[in-house]
């Protein structure tokens, strides 16, 4: 009987330890997720134009970008980021065609539509934690939000319509975000990502 109780307590302790470990890992993952989408936004700013193309005055070499994001991404994740957002011209990483077009036109109403399906979408950090689904398998993790609602302003608010609507924001958008991570030591690093938005901007 006594032996049975000891085994039971060992099992309970093991399960509690496993739950705490997963909980701690999820906290690390959410923190990394949030930091990435916070830090990434500085890469789309400080725009200057040279030889007919726009680029970030402070972040336009691989070393510049790597120094900012290396604590958050794997090499594969960095490669995807560079491929999706930039073109390499005359020794610099300049914004890709879609971002270039926006900066050349500078239409306020195109601001959000241009960024909404990129890592620069400011609404990603507004996704509620309860809308994030986290799964962990070995040294890999996934963070997924499927059609997560992001409320930018009350559609009946003149203030919201003026200040956000003029930049192309809808009152509410629905974002689907997939982020893959890999664990190295006690940290998780982003290895791939995808962002989609599904509401109509008409």
Phi-psi region of 58 (alpha: psi -120 to 50; beta: other; left: phi over 0): alpha
The average confidence (pLDDT) of the chain is 89
Phi-psi region of 107 (alpha: psi -120 to 50; beta: other; left: phi over 0): beta
User: Whole-prediction pTM value?
Assistant: 0.85
Per-residue confidence (pLDDT) for residue 156, from 0 to 100? 92
Burial of 15 (0-12, 13-18, 19+ CB in 10 A): exposed
pLDDT in tens, 128-169: 999 999 999 999 999 999 999 999 999 999 999 899 999 999
Residue length of the chain:
202
Per-residue confidence (pLDDT) for residue 83, from 0 to 100? 96
Residue showing tokens 């003029």 = 166
The secondary element (H helix, E strand) that includes residue 158 is helix 158-163
Q: Is-contact 168 110, C-beta < 8 A?
A: yes
Tokens of 160: 């919201």
Three-state secondary-structure class, residue 182: strand
The CA R_g of the chain, rounded to the nearest whole Å, is 21
pLDDT in tens, 39-54: 999 999 999 999 999 9
Q: Residue 195: pLDDT above 50?
A: yes
> Residue 177's pLDDT band (boundaries 50, 70, 90)?
very high
């Amino acid at each position: 009987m006594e032996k049975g109780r000891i085994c039971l307590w060992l099992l309970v302790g093991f399960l509690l330890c496993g739950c705490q470990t997963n909980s701690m890992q999820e906290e690390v993952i959410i923190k990394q997720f949030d930091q990435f989408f916070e830090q990434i936004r500085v890469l789309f700013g400080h725009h200057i134009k040279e030889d007919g193309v726009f680029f970030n005055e402070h972040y336009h070499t691989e070393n510049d970008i790597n120094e900012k994001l290396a604590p958050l991404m794997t090499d594969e994740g960095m490669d995807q980021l560079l491929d999706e957002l930039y073109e390499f011209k005359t020794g610099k990483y300049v914004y890709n065609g879609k971002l270039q077009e926006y900066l050349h036109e500078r239409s306020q109403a195109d601001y959000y539509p241009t960024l909404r399906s990129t890592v620069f979408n400011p609404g990603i950090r507004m996704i509620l934690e309860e809308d994030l689904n986290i799964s962990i398998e070995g040294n890999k993790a996934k963070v997924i939000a499927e059609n997560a609602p992001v409320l930018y302003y009350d559609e009946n608010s003149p203030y919201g319509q003026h200040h956000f609507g003029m930049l192309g924001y809808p009152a509410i958008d629905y974002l689907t975000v997939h982020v893959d991570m890999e664990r190295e030591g006690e940290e998780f690093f982003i290895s791939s990502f995808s962002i989609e938005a599904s509401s109509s901007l008409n």
